[in-house]
Chains A and B, each alone.
Chain A
Amino acid sequence: MFARCTSSCLLLAGIGLAIAIPAQADEKLAAAKLEPKNFTERATSYKIDENTKQKIPLTSKFEMVYVPGGEFTMGSPATEVGHEAIEGPQHKVKVGNFWMGKFEVTWDEFDLFWYDARYLVSNDIAAKKLGPDAITRPTNTFVDETYEHGRDGHPVLCMTHHAAMAYCHWLAKATGKAYRLPTEAEWEYAARAGKGNTAYFFGDDPKQLEEYAWFKDNSKDEENFPSKLKGCTHKVGTKKPNPFGLYDMYGNVAEWTLDQYDPKSYQKFAMNPLSIRPVTVPTAEKWSHVIRGGSWADKADRCRSAARRFSDKSWMRWDPQEPQSIWWLTRMDVVGFRVVLAETEQPELVGLVPKVVKKSE
């Protein structure tokens, strides 16, 4: 897959071969041969040892859970405790079959992308010349990228929507499967796990949440993370899964969904008797997108299946640079993501690529 080298191929002294692969729609990416059941994905990349110039292979392995599609009621009624106006009106939705990451994406997995010596870093002059269509990898951070939350087995955080999109795009190239972020509809369907329209899949009583989620009430870990007095992320998969076998859908880190946020989308979808695979395709605009599931810092009601929070530029207020990073939500240590793979991709998402560039508004 990486053997093809375009004219923009650059041989860089001491750095190894950095190949810029145009990110055009690649319709060969498909999951056609997969059985409709859980599977283990393996990804590989490599970094370069600066002293020996040797390639150091990087590998990761993660579980994908098969989620049979179906119909459900999206959103929540005004009577639900914690309901906010943007969760309505409720509307009927049908999603297709897909696989979803059993866990949130961890640092170990993200490092394969971040350290991948085959690609240029996005702020390199040579990468800038390639334009927005090249796969580039995240810039370095000024600070500890985990914000003292722990790294081994912990979910990634401070991710911009673009970083999450770019990771999926990289993963698609690395595996030959069209990985992407879940649409909001897919996310909520997976969170409800076929259990109807209650606040959580287990019912309406938040008392049960601590069995399934790291959230404000239980996320403190004084022994291992003494500086995190308000709580912290935990290793993925250390609470019970939901009935689909998905872990940490509620809490730990809030998760990006694919859609560009449209304040009118629920009203629009509600005009249909049934919205089939609804999505608002993401654009080059940085703001806004929706995170779901709540985080280690959230109260129980923010972790409900229907709860939504949309991003805005104030999320970047801690980045003292201008233009600000398109990769890192400085100090927003509550935002991560997980990946999905559609069994048959919906047409408007075929060939989806991240479009945000540094100058995007």
Chain B
Amino acid sequence: MSSPQSADRRDFLKASAAVAGTAMATNMAGAHAAGADIIKVGLVGCGGRGRGAVKNILQAEEIINGDNPKIQIVAVADVFKDRASNAARDFSNPKHREYGPHTAQVKITPDTTFGGFDAYQKLIDSGVDLVILATPPGFRPYHLEAAIRANKNVFCEKPVAVDATGIRKVFGLAEEAKKRNLAIVAGTQRRHQKGYIETIKQIKDGAIGNVISARVAWNSGGPNPIWFNKRQEGEPDTAYQIRNWYHYLWLCGDHIVEQHVHNLDVANWVIGDHPIRATGIGGRAARPGGAVADPNMFGQIWDHFAVEYEYKNGVRVFSYCRHIAGSEGDVSEMVFGSNGSSRVGNYLIGKKQVGDDQIGGKHRDAYVQEHIDLLSSIRAGKPLNELRQVAESTFTAILGRNAAYAERWLKWDDALAANDGTMPEKLALDGALPATPAPTPGAWKLPKRA
């Protein structure tokens, strides 16, 4: 565990702090005045999801403004420069199946193609109005900090942190973004999915009586460890861990945080609050290399969690997530009320379907809709700010994870106060980075208060 107050940590972030100061002094008016013409977009994190998000924002703008689009993709950044360059090449390729129709909107140059650990900062400084943050979530609090301090609107993928240290920062940034009138939309796309919105409105209007409890799950059973790239000969620790970010806690936060956050977010949405405490069980039973595998080769995350949450109003939420080969798949949210139940993801109240994703007779993809909502809110001068909400859902997952690691009840407030920062003090792509062991159930202790 590293201390977020360490000198090296400050070194890592000092560029952003310096720029933030300038931005605050010169650009307090906000990132994009309503009515201004072109929104310049930059992508931080050029993996599959980030590239997908660029496609989605282009599609969103096409739905909003048709043949007269008013967004441009102007910059790309990735720790690995080659990934940024590849993204720039594909976005600019007129023959590309997805990006080809939009190449007139792509203005990326070699000067706006950034690599390295400070690539995000360079991108933010390059004259963008809106940044898409799609790196592994461990970096998110720092990227959010840099973007918000520079008065940028943000689309940020979920989750928004991997530890309480990051969440505390993000809670502060949510307020800061509000003061600066910035739009922040998060990749919890169910919040923008018409069928979900319609179904949850019915629940809130009393269709199943008072909500008593919920069961949420993200269990998947495929054979392969998801996104696992075996170590190449001579590959340094840091590069290897980032290429296998899903398996390392400082980058991923464990799969309950990275993936199951979607379902926990639905529970919080339905209940209208976050939990006050949680207990859980779990472990690492069938990960590659086995239960006690060398974390330097196989990472640290667990493969199953079962968590019980209690909310202030007494509602209980039972949460399950699992990545075990050969196990049954289940991605769902079930809500139980005093007068019925709802299978939210199927848009069912009892046996009646009460929602769908059709808009104007066509299916509307939530991954596109979230960008429509983001762009529309910026242009209307009424910026959406989902940062507090997604940070609460992220911390709901972190709380459950820690309760399972500790195998005991943990309170929200205690867990949120923990001095638990996991960001390594020094990062270099060619650097050594010994991995901490995977958490041992029961032996793991919540770090002391910060």
Residues of B near A140 (CB, < 8 A) are 220, 222-227
Q: How far is the CA of A145 from the CA of B220 in the complex (A)?
A: 8
Residue of A nearest to B187 (CB): A320
Question: How far is B207's CA from A117's CA once the two chains are assembled, in angstroms?
Answer: 49
A146 within 8 A of B: yes
A309–B343 Cα distance when bound, in Å, is: 32
The reply to whether the CB of B113 lies closer than 8 angstroms to some CB of chain A is no
* B51–A114 CB distance below 8 A: no
Contact at B365–A146, with CB atoms within 8 Å?
A: no
A257 to chain B, nearest CB (A): 23
- The answer, among B52, B97, B225, B351, for a CB contact under 8 Å with A320, is B52
Interface centre among A12, A144, A151, A317 (most CB of B within 10 A): A144
Whether B220 contacts A320 by the Cβ 8 Å rule is: no
Is A142's CB under 8 angstroms from B348's CB? Answer: no
Q: Among A123, A146, A227, A318, which residue has its beta carbon within 8 angstroms of that of B348?
A: A227
Complex alpha-carbon distance, A124 and B219, angstroms: 23
The answer to whether A146 touches B329 (Cβ under 8 A) is: yes
Cross-chain pair count, CB within 8 angstroms: 113
Residue of A nearest to B366 (CB): A320
0/1 interface trace, chain A 286-328, chain B, CB 8 Å (1 if under):
0000000000000000000000000001000111111100000
Contact A151 B328 (CB under 8 A): yes
Residue-wise interface mask of B (261-304) relative to A, using a CB-CB cutoff of 8 A (1 in contact, 0 not): 00000000000000000000000011111110100011000000
Q: Does residue A234 face the partner (Cβ distance < 8 Å to B)?
A: no
Q: Is A7 an interface residue (CB 8 A)?
A: no
For the complex, is B201 an interface residue (Cβ under 8 Å from A)? no
Provide the residues of chain A in CB contact with B353, threshold 8 Å: 229
Q: Is B325 an interface residue (CB 8 A)?
A: yes
C-alpha gap A141/B259 in the complex (Å): 12
Residues of B contacting A47 in the complex (Cβ-Cβ under 8 angstroms):
223, 325
Report the separation of the CA atoms of residues A141 and B327 in the bound assembly, to the nearest whole angstrom. Answer: 13
A115 within 8 A of B: yes
Nearest CB of chain A from residue B63's CB, rounded to whole Å:
13
Contact for A50 among B219, B289, B329, CB less than 8 A: B289
Bound-state CA distance A124–B232 (Å) is: 10
B229 at the interface (CB under 8 A from A): yes
Q: Is the CB of B286 within 8 A of A141?
A: no
Across the interface, do A322 and B219 meet the contact criterion of CB distance under 8 Å? no
User: A178 at interface (Cβ–Cβ under 8 A)?
Assistant: no
CA distance A47 to B331 in the complex (A): 25
User: With an 8 A cutoff between CB atoms, is A13 at the interface?
Assistant: yes
Within 8 Å by CB of B95, from A151, A226, A361, lies A361
Contacts of B289 in A (CB 8 A): 13-14, 50
Cβ of A330 to closest chain B Cβ, rounded Å: 11
Indicate if the CB atoms of A51 and B290 lie closer than 8 Å. Answer: yes
Judge whether B297 and A13 touch: CB under 8 Å.
yes
Bound CA span A135–B259, Å: 29
Is residue B367 within 8 Å, beta carbon to beta carbon, of the partner chain? yes
Q: Is A356 at the interface (CB under 8 A from chain B)?
A: no
Partner of A145, one of B98, B222, B297: B222
Total residues of chain A contacting the partner, CB 8 A: 41
With A14-B288, A50-B289, A321-B51 already in contact, the answer to whether A227 and B223 are too (CB < 8 A) is no
The residue of chain A having its C-beta at the shortest distance from the C-beta of B330 within the complex is: A144
Q: How far is the CA of A148 from the CA of B346 in the complex (A)?
A: 11
Report the count of interface residues on B (CB-CB < 8 A).
53
Residues of chain A within 8 A (CB-CB) of B290 are: 14, 50-53
Those of A2-22 within 8 Å (CB) of chain B: 12-15
Query: Is B85's beta carbon under 8 Å from chain A?
Result: no
Q: Which residue of B lies closest to A317 (CB)?
A: B365
A111 close to chain B: CB less than 8 A:
yes
Known: A140-B220, A317-B365, A321-B48. Is A126-B230 also a contact (CB below 8 A)?
A: yes
Given contact pairs A47-B223, A121-B224, A123-B227, A143 touches B325 in the complex (Cβ within 8 A): no
Is B243 interfacial (CB 8 A cutoff)?
Answer: yes
* Given known A-B contacts A140-B223, A321-B49, A321-B52, A51 and B291 have beta carbons under 8 A apart: yes
Shortest CB distance B106–A (Å): 14
Contact A361 B97 (CB under 8 A): yes
Chain B residues with CB under 8 A of A321: 48-49, 51-52
Instruction: Check if A115 sits within 8 Å of B325, measured CB to CB.
Output: yes
For window 230-245 of B, CB contacts with A under 8 Å fall at 230, 232, 243
Cβ-based interface call for A265 (8 A): no
Determine whether the beta carbon of A141 is less than 8 Å from that of B55: no
Say yes or no: A323-B325 contact (C-beta < 8 A), given A14-B298, A361-B95, A361-B97: no
Tell me whether A229 and B328 are in contact (CB under 8 A): no
A146 CA / B329 CA spacing, docked (Å): 7
Does any Cβ of B come within 8 Å of A125's Cβ?
Answer: yes
CB-CB < 8 A to B76: which residues of A?
none
- From the candidates A14, A52, A145, A323, name the one contacting B51 in the complex (CB within 8 A): A323
B199 contacts the other chain (CB 8 A)? no
- Closest residue of A by beta carbon distance from B100: A361
CA distance A321 to B56 in the complex (A): 10
A114 touches B288 (CB 8 A): no
Among A168-191, those with CB < 8 Å from B are none
Pair A142/B220 contact, Cβ less than 8 Å: yes
- Closest A residue to B54 by beta carbon equals A322
Report the minimum CB–CB distance from B326 to chain A (whole Å): 8
Q: Are A144 and B329 in contact (CB under 8 A)?
A: yes
> In the complex, A357→B243 CA distance in Å?
21
The A-contacting residues of B in range 336-362, CB under 8 angstroms, are 343, 346, 348, 351, 353
Task: Taking A50-B293, A322-B54 as given, write out 12 further A-B residue pairs in contact, using a Cβ cutoff of 8 Å, ordered by the A residue number.
Answer: A12-B230, A13-B289, A47-B325, A50-B288, A114-B222, A115-B326, A124-B228, A142-B226, A148-B332, A319-B52, A322-B52, A322-B55
Q: Which 9 A-B pairs have the closest CB atoms?
A: A144-B329, A321-B48, A140-B222, A115-B223, A322-B51, A51-B290, A322-B52, A14-B289, A140-B226
Q: What are 16 A-B pairs with beta-carbon distances under 8 A?
A: A13-B297, A14-B297, A15-B230, A47-B325, A50-B290, A126-B230, A126-B232, A140-B227, A145-B329, A226-B351, A313-B97, A320-B189, A321-B51, A322-B48, A322-B54, A323-B48
